């Protein structure tokens, strides 16, 4: 087995930082070592295979992106990143584990859909991966399958309060699925928007000839996210199921979650970088059809309403458990342009799996969050939330050697042809400048990135069987 000593760096965890060396032995972290400490001594550097100088840099656990959609069918097309291209981009950005979604649609068997996603990913992932299961057809058979999936390491299940006729579940179906989660120890994930009301607003806008991308956001107002979030919380309270609300964009919805948490509920929020930096006015409101680049659901919110600043605040207070990407990329040509003349036909999704660690580090630079909170929301809490801890999300003896060296004195320019390796013909983050840079990445002890060069292979990643959530109250 190959041994590597990373020395001179500052190891950052969710609880603090320490000037200490990291010894990797094969696929795991063997020890954290005070320089010269017994039994290793000063001669350790001569006894290992590789020595890496991390002086002046941060040594952090590899990022865990708990919300991605590689090769996802949606809106008459398929997300443009394959598991191969998407996970390679993730590695280049300092993410070493993703949790993607297997999707059941009405009429399909849950186990068959999970197997289909296994077949897509196996042998095609640059980093480790797991799966959540979308239940798009809540019935007796699919509820029984949820219990079986727990034994297969798929311990979280997603429902939709949006997209009637596609993934939508009624309140009664949500109640039954939450009861099942409470019974088996699973975690219920929820896309919380009032899809019935949204569809009516969409029809009204189109009827008035309001067809551009801007109206995607206007037709999904924050009130309908807040209402659905509150309803999901109440259903979780009735059933005793833990609830994880995905891609929260409205600060009013987060207030509902914060209130539930304050009352002792197992209710958790996820947000995404797009909701922290981008806006209805500036991006969705771009001229012509340009705003289609930023069509996603939940939508970007108006900066004038204070959503972005408030979401950062909720990250600081701990009411946002984790920051994921909801990575679901579509090209403009041949995909996003399906919605020219009808915003409801624009495939919903933004690509960002490559940039999450950088974008959140900029929040550290800007004084919005601490260095420790950066690690916590990007790696440690997602690992705990989804049953990956302590294998993932921490620099600790016995953990997988998923390690990132991050240079706070570096610089990253985001955009096509710069740090853009996702399979897209545009970047939602074109022109963003980051005061920091990923300089090296190890995945289970193998160096897969060095100085922006990808050194890995599409067969490096393995499926990770997840335990039950380790983050419940």
Q: Please check whether residues 119 and 157 belong to one and the same domain.
A: yes
Could you tell me if 273 and 352 are in contact, meaning their C-beta atoms sit under 8 angstroms apart?
yes
Distance of alpha carbon 251 from alpha carbon 58, whole angstroms: 31
Which of 384, 410, 427 is where one domain is finished? 384
Question: Which of 178-192, 247-261, 364-378, 408-422 is the least confident region?
Answer: 408-422
**Is residue 24 located within the same domain as residue 35?**
yes
Predicted local distance difference test score (pLDDT) of residue 43:
79
Residue-wise pLDDT for 295-334, tens only, equals 999 999 999 999 999 999 999 999 999 999 999 999 999 9
Domain membership flag for residue 200? yes
Q: Based on the domain organization, do 144 and 45 belong to the same domain? A: no
Residue 40 has pLDDT above 90, yes or no: no
Residues 23/54, Cβ–Cβ less than 8 Å:
no
pLDDT tens-digit series, residues 188-235: 999 999 999 999 999 999 999 999 999 999 999 999 999 999 999 999
* 39 pLDDT higher than 80: no
Do 236 and 213 fall into the same domain? yes
Judge whether 84 lies within some domain. Answer: yes
pLDDT at 37 over 90: no
464 located within any domain: no
36 and 165 in a common domain: no
Residue 299 falls inside a structural domain: yes
Question: Is 182 a domain residue?
Answer: yes
Domain limit, last residue, from 369, 384, 399 = 384
- Average pLDDT over every residue of 86-99: 98
Q: 466 lies in a domain?
A: no
For residue 38, what pLDDT band results from cuts at 50, 70 and 90? low
Q: What is the CATH number of the domain that holds 17?
A: 2.30.40.10
Instruction: Indicate whether 158 and 230 sit together in one domain.
Output: yes
- Quote the percentage of the chain above a pLDDT of 90: 95
Do 266 and 159 share a domain, yes or no?
Answer: yes
What average pLDDT score do residues 154-163 get?
98
Q: What is the per-residue pLDDT for 41?
A: 67
Residue 235 lies in a domain: yes
Q: pTM for this one? A: 0.97
Residue 372 and residue 398 in one domain: no
Q: Is there a single domain that holds both residue 189 and residue 304?
A: yes
Lowest mean pLDDT segment, chosen from 32-36, 79-83, 160-164, 269-273: 32-36
Burial of 39: CB neighbours in 10 Å, binned 0-12, 13-18, 19+: exposed
Region of poorest pLDDT, from 11-25, 244-258, 263-277, 408-422: 408-422
Q: Is residue 462 part of a domain?
A: no
pLDDT confidence tier of residue 44, bands split at 50, 70 and 90: confident
**pLDDT, mean over the chain:** 97
What is the band of 178 on the pLDDT scale with cuts at 50, 70, 90? very high
Using CA atoms, how far apart are residues 154 and 158, in angstroms rounded to an integer?
A: 11
Please give the residue range of the domain that contains residue 132.
61-384
Residue 197: the pLDDT is 98
Residues 241 and 93 in one domain: yes
pLDDT at 417: 82
CATH number for the domain including 244? 3.20.20.140
Last-in-domain residue among 365, 384, 403: 384
- Residue 230's pLDDT is 98
Instruction: Give the total number of structural domains in the chain.
Output: 2
Tokens found for residue 306: 């204070």
pLDDT at 20 over 70: yes
Residue 85: pLDDT band (50, 70, 90) is: very high
Same domain, residue pair 110 and 6 = no
Residues 395 and 442 in one domain: yes
Q: What long-range pairs does 199-205 form, CB within 8 A, spacing at least 24?
A: 199/164, 202/343, 202/344, 205/343
């Amino acid at each position: 087995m190959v041994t590597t000593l990373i020395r001179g760096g500052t190891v950052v965890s969710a609880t603090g930082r320490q000037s200490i060396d990291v010894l990797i032995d094969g696929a795991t972290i063997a020890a954290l070592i005070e320089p010269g400490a017994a039994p290793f001594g000063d001669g350790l550097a001569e006894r290992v295979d590789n020595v890496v100088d991390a002086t002046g840099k941060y040594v952090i656990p590899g990022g865990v992106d708990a919300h991605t959609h590689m090769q996802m069918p949606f809106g008459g097309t398929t997300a443009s990143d394959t598991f191969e291209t998407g996970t390679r981009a993730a590695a280049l950005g300092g993410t070493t584990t993703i949790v993607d979604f297997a999707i059941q649609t009405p009429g399909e068997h849950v186990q068959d859909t999970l197997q289909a996603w296994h077949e897509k990913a196996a042998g095609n992932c640059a980093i480790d991966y797991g799966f959540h299961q979308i239940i798009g057809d809540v019935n007796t058979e699919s509820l029984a399958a949820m219990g079986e999936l727990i034994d297969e390491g798929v311990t979280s299940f997603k429902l939709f309060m949006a997209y009637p006729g596609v993934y939508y579940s009624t309140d009664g179906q949500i109640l039954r699925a939450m009861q099942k989660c409470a019974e088996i120890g699973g975690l219920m994930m929820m896309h919380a928007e009032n899809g019935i009301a949204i569809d009516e607003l969409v029809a009204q806008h189109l009827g008035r000839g309001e067809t551009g991308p801007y109206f995607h956001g206007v037709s999904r107002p924050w009130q309908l996210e807040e209402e659905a979030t509150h309803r999901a919380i109440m259903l979780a309270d009735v059933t005793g199921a833990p609830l994880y609300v995905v891609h929260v964009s409205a600060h009013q919805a987060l207030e509902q979650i914060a209130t539930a948490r304050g009352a002792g509920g197992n209710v958790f929020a996820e947000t995404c970088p797009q909701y922290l930096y981008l806006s209805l006015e500036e991006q969705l409101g771009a001229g012509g059809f340009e705003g289609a680049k930023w069509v996603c659901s939940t939508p970007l919110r108006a900066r004038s309403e204070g959503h972005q600043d408030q979401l950062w605040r909720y990250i600081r207070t701990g009411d946002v458990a984790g920051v994921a990407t909801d990575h679901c990329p579509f090209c403009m040509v041949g995909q996003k342009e399906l919605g020219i003349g009808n915003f409801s036909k624009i495939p919903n999704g933004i690509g960002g799996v490559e940039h999450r660690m950088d974008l959140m580090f900029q929040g550290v630079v800007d004084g919005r969050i601490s260095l420790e909170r950066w690690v916590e929301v990007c790696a440690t809490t997602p690992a705990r939330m989804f049953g990956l801890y302590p294998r993932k999300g921490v620099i600790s003896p016995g953990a997988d050697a998923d390690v990132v060296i991050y240079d706070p004195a570096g610089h990253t320019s985001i955009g096509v042809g710069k740090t853009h390796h996702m399979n897209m013909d545009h970047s939602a983050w074109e022109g963003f400048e980051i005061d920091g840079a990923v300089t090296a990445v190890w995945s289970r002890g193998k160096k897969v990135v060095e100085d922006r060069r990808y050194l890995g292979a599409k067969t490096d990643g393995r499926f990770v069987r997840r335990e039950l959530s380790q983050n419940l109250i």
